[in-house]
Chains A and B, each alone.
Chain A
Amino acid sequence: MAVSFDRARLAPLKDTVAIVGVGETDYAKDYRGAGGQAVGKGEARYDSYTLASRALKRALDDAGLRKDDIDGLCTGGTLSGERASEQWGLNPRWSGGGDAAQCIIEATLAINAGLCTTVALVYGNAQRSMDTAYGGARVTGGAITSYFYYAPWGMTSQGALYALFFQRHKLLYGTTEEQLGAVAVAFRKHACLNPNAVMQTPITIQDYLDARYIAEPLRLYDYCLINDGGVAIIVRRADMTRDLKQRPIMVSGFGWSEENVDATQLRPRLKSFYHGAHHDVAAQAYPMAGVTPKDVDVFATYDSFSVHLLASLEGFGFCKEGEAGAFVQGGRIEIGGDLPCNTSGGMLSESYMQSWNHQPELVRQLRGGLGHRQVQGAEVAQYVHDVAGKCKSLIYTRGA
């Protein structure tokens, strides 16, 4: 792809917008449900708006802002922007939606354009109690995507697509299943330090290897959870963040690039592990923030599957291509290691909020005071979002 982004126009956007408030629902408590029993699939107890509303209220309280301070709204998950606005009594001057990274980038652009000053980004998804399917006949909503095009051959589910991805990585580089297991073990260890994480029981590498395959070579612990929850993030023009309750966390760099050519054929997935998009995003985000991978103190990646971390580490230059299996060994990606990754437990072990729960965790790490879960001296945090080659990244730093 031609290099078409303009570094000179991106640079002045550094630190112009900050995250001033975050809110999440009680993932663990809601998962366990009444009487300590896990909520069964299809046992609807509330809807996405219930969860999103709780998260929004908590984020406003966290920021020390009132509902009437909000003049922009982004919605994610299964929320409709119109219904969400109506529910919360908002007439936004600007609205958007999508995944968390997309919403933060778009809100930053809207704020810089002068359309609004204070944007609520809100996600809600009652996917467990509503029994959402991510594989099989019920995902065939009619759109032609790689998700289900190959159903006649028995191919389905995002997990199987990432199983093909990891099998290819194994074949090319000799990466082992035991090496991949270090990712699930590390994220679970982090979850056990996070009282709001759904999964609270430590696992060993042997537990990982003993667990059943789902789509071989991926096992149970390589897959994310399916649970209910809501997340809200309040972003605000940086010069309006003084005198709020929390230290502002600056949006210092970002990038966006998608590899969709031959996506259904799985060409970018299997031929280059989406590194084309990773390199393009890295070329935008790091120079904008004025940092390099070496400066990143705490890292988070979209982790619907453990494999995502290998792809991100290689694609963003934390290690060479083919070396991520070795890189994640020996505690390097754990709290206390060189590059703590997905410190909340991520979507594998904290909560499957489809990119949304990673942002509050990075914000909390930069604010400090997380006790045993705190990454000491964290000043630069990075989130990498890569869902089937739709890649974005955000770099956050501590504000004054």
Chain B
Amino acid sequence: MATARPVRAMDPYAEQFWAFTLDRELRLQQCSACGKFRWPPGPTCDRCLSDDFGWSPLSGMAKVLSWTTFRRGYFPEYPPPHTVLALELAEGPLFISYPVDIEPTDLREGMTLELRWTDATDKFGEYNLPVFGPLRG
């Protein structure tokens, strides 16, 4: 049984994003007209308003911008303490995730982390959740 997570925000574009995670693929929409990556998923390029796009695979590399550790519980699926990361993906977009295989006290501004996967399920079904950990070298 996959690990229960708080429910995802779902729409036709988010559905496609999460479908790729079943194959452990992190892909974001990229505008076919101007090349801008977008996140969260949506119908239109916010830079040029084109609605042509592809789902481009990402390198999985990201730099740490900030983090916070929840000391109060909000979701039963995430009892405190639980740390959340703000990352800058190598391809440009910022991305929220959580750290694995590293203590919050070892996090540093600008530190490079790489993509890992963990299992997940909610009312929409099973999927994999992209999380980030230290480079394995």
Contact residues of B with A, CB < 8 Å?
5-9, 11, 39-40, 46, 65-72, 74-75, 77-78, 81-82, 84, 86, 93-98, 109, 120, 122, 129, 131
Contact = CB atoms under 8 A, between A and B. Distances in A.
B67 A164 contact: yes
Contact of B82 (A148, A154, A261): A154
Interface residues on A, range: 35 or more
B129 A144 contact: no
Given A212-B71, A267-B94, A270-B94, A152 B65 contact: no
Contacts of B74: 135-137, 154, 156-157
A146 to B, nearest CB: 9
A217 B122 contact: no
Interface string A200-227: 0000000000001111111000000000
B6 A154 contact: yes
B43 to A, nearest CB: 12
A144 B69 CA distance: 23
B65 A270 contact: yes
Contact of A168 (B66, B78, B120): B66
A152 B93 contact: no
B129 A266 contact: no
A270 B68 CA distance: 13
Interface centre among B9, B11, B39 (most CB of A within 10 A): B9
22 contacts: A137-B6, A149-B9, A149-B40, A150-B84, A151-B6, A152-B5, A154-B70, A154-B82, A154-B84, A157-B74, A163-B68, A164-B66, A164-B68, A167-B67, A171-B66, A214-B72, A215-B71, A215-B72, A216-B69, A216-B70, A216-B71, A265-B95
A172 interface: yes
A144 B82 contact: no
Interface string A157-172: 1001001110110011
